[in-house]
Amino acid sequence: MPHKLFEQACEQSKGLATFDDVQNLLRDHIGVVAGVETVDLKNACGAILAEDVIAPRNVPAFSNSAIDGYAFASASLEASRKLEITQEIFAGAVPTETLEKGQAARIYTGAVMPQGADTCLMQENAVVDGRVLNVPQGIKQGANTRHAGEDLNVGDVVISKGTRLGAAELGAIATTGIGTIQCRKRLKVAIISTGDEVIRPGEDLEPGQIYDSNFHLLNGLAQSSYIILDDIGVLVDDEQLIFSTIERLSQSHDVILSTGGASVGDKDFIIAAMEALGILHSWKIAIKPGRPLAIGQIGEAIFLGLPGNPVAAFNTWLLFAIPMFAYLQGANWVPPQRYPIPAGFSMPNKKTGRREFLRGWIENSDNGPVACKFERDGSGLISGLTRSSGLIELAENVSEVKQGTLVNFIPFSEFGIAS
Ligand code: AMP
Ligand code: MG
């Protein structure tokens, strides 16, 4: 069934939108388009779970020993602390004899507890004389045993729908014995670089040309988003070419991403293409770096026109493309955690009315950790990105930053990106 991602253009999208406006626009207007497929657990890292995983059995399935040592009934010890070792139980074996009072079993980590036993003694603490075990004072009933169902009970939700699967989630599902799960399919995302001056690395540079860093920047980020990034290459600033390419891609892809050409220059055709072919929702966002940004819909495809400057393209991917992908994939998206940290820099004049994202990192000073910023602010300076480990967010109402003022630091890892 056709899915309308945006029903209509939003009024707020006409003028200058705030950061929150655009976040809300994405949250409220983007639906789930990714289909569902059955995935083997070993291929599911990074995928979004399409349905709750319910535990089909208890984990652990049986009570077992947490140590190499000796199992017995704690109540036995009231009569005597000397017990007779009557059986040996290895991991994987099923004990057949019930343990009577006064008896102990030699047992190994992970082995099933014999009937009648409720406590294990570590072999390091055991004094054994032939077939007699001497149990020292102080061992508590139930010590060193793992109870059936203590981790998960049959019927428990192991991992809920919409969760992005990482190592911990995959391990948890595996313990229940489930080997295949229902996940959202990878989104098909076309990526276009635009610009008469832009060529791909590896080619010879003519005067006036620059190398396409955006593609590699975003291709690297895409590795953490469980999408198929389809490289369309570099399009020259030609209206016809841009219109026809975008129209074609809108029929075959869930998302079209472009960098550059989204401003008001005479050779910027991205906005015009969106208006002519679909709906333009939002552009001119009050953030820095990150202008110009265009969000729209062409047919069933979402169009995200990112800025040409590499740092701005990187920023807008983190801030807008990542939640957008999450909504399209049915993922539970939560805003990245902001950590208030004293500024290790000062910024006497910050323009109010827009949100700024400085590239930065944490350093340890004599007074504890401080947030440092890359000294130069230009949104074309890619060295600021390689130096940084996160973004420093300055809210719209901030007009200056003094050394020691608390600023919000957002580690890159909070966006779920690998690097
Ligand atoms: P534009 O929005 O097209 O005017 O581009 C803004 C700036 O970003 C210009 O300096 C472009 O040369 C630069 N730029 C555009 N695309 C890329 C790209 N793929 N890689 C690096 N820089 C780019
Ligand atoms: Mg351009």
Distance 314 CA to ligand 2 centre (A): 16
Burial of 17 (0-12, 13-18, 19+ CB in 10 A): buried
Q: Tell me, what's the pLDDT at 1?
A: 39
Q: Is the CB of 258 under 6 A from ligand 1?
A: no
Residue 7 has pLDDT above 70, yes or no: no
Token code pair at residue 419:
């690097």
Domains in the chain: boundaries = 4-34+186-328, 39-56+151-183, 64-146, 339-415
Q: Is the CB of 197 under 6 A from ligand 1?
A: yes
Cross-strand pairs, 64 = 112, 146
**What's the whole-number mean pLDDT along residues 224-241?**
97
Residue 87 has pLDDT above 70, yes or no: yes
Show Cβ contacts of residue 331 under 8 Å, excluding neighbours closer than 6 positions: 48, 162, 163, 164, 184, 325
Distance 191 CA to ligand 2 centre (A): 15
Q: Is the CB of 308 under 6 A from ligand 1?
A: yes
Residue whose CB lies within 8 A of the most ligand 1 atoms, among 191, 198, 234, 266, for a mutation test? 198
Which residue in 148, 169, 150 sits closest to 158, CA to CA?
169
Q: Tell me, what's the pLDDT at 11?
A: 57
Residue 221 has pLDDT above 90, yes or no: yes
Q: Is the CB of 290 under 6 A from ligand 1?
A: no
Distance of CA 304 to the CA centre of its chain: 20
Tens digits of residue pLDDT in 36-70: 999 999 999 999 999 999 999 999 999 999 999 99
Q: Is the CB of 193 under 6 A from ligand 1?
A: yes
Report residue 376's pLDDT band, with 50, 70 and 90 as the boundaries.
confident
Residue whose CB lies within 8 A of the most ligand 1 atoms, among 191, 209, 211, 214, for a mutation test? 214
- Nearest ligand for residue 263 CA: 1
At the top level of CATH, the class of 339-415 is mainly beta
**What's the whole-number mean pLDDT along residues 125-145?**
97
- Are 196 and 237 in contact by the 8 Å Cβ rule? The answer is yes
Q: Tell me, what's the pLDDT at 281?
A: 87
Q: Is the CB of 309 under 6 A from ligand 1?
A: yes
Architecture of the domain whose range is 64-146:
Beta Complex (2.170)
- Are 76 and 101 in contact by the 8 Å Cβ rule? The answer is yes
Distance 47 CA to ligand 2 centre (A): 34
Give the integer Cα–Cα distance in Å for 201 and 211.
6
Q: Is the CB of 408 under 6 A from ligand 1?
A: no
Ligand 1 atom with the shortest distance to the CA of 197: 12
Helix axes 270-277, 239-250, angle to 10 degrees: 50
Say what percent of the chain tops pLDDT 70. Answer: 96
Nearest Cα residue to atom 15 of ligand 1: 308
**What's the whole-number mean pLDDT along residues 318-338?**
97
Distance 228 CA to ligand 1 centre (A): 23
Give the integer Cα–Cα distance in Å for 80 and 70.
16
Q: Tell me, what's the pLDDT at 3?
A: 56
Tens digits of residue pLDDT in 278-301: 999 888 899 999 888 999 999 999
Distance 310 CA to ligand 1 centre (A): 7
Lowest mean pLDDT among 205-214, 351-360, 374-383, 408-417: 374-383
Q: For domain 4-34+186-328, give the CATH number.
A: 3.40.980.10
Distance 303 CA to ligand 1 centre (A): 18
Residue 419 has pLDDT above 90, yes or no: no
**What's the whole-number mean pLDDT along residues 340-351?**
97
Topology of the domain covering 39-56+151-183: Molybdopterin biosynthesis moea protein, domain 2 (3.90.105)
SS3 for 84?
Answer: strand
Ligand 1 atom with the shortest distance to the CA of 259: 16
Is the link from the previous residue into 60 a cis peptide, with omega within 30 of 0? yes
Tell me the pLDDT of the chain averaged across its residues: 95
Q: Is the CB of 384 under 6 A from ligand 1?
A: no
**What's the whole-number mean pLDDT along residues 201-208?**
97
Tens digits of residue pLDDT in 9-30: 665 566 689 999 999 999 999 9
Q: Tell me, what's the pLDDT at 2?
A: 43
Distance of CA 409 to the CA centre of its chain: 18
Distance 273 CA to ligand 2 centre (A): 14
Residue 159 has pLDDT above 50, yes or no: yes
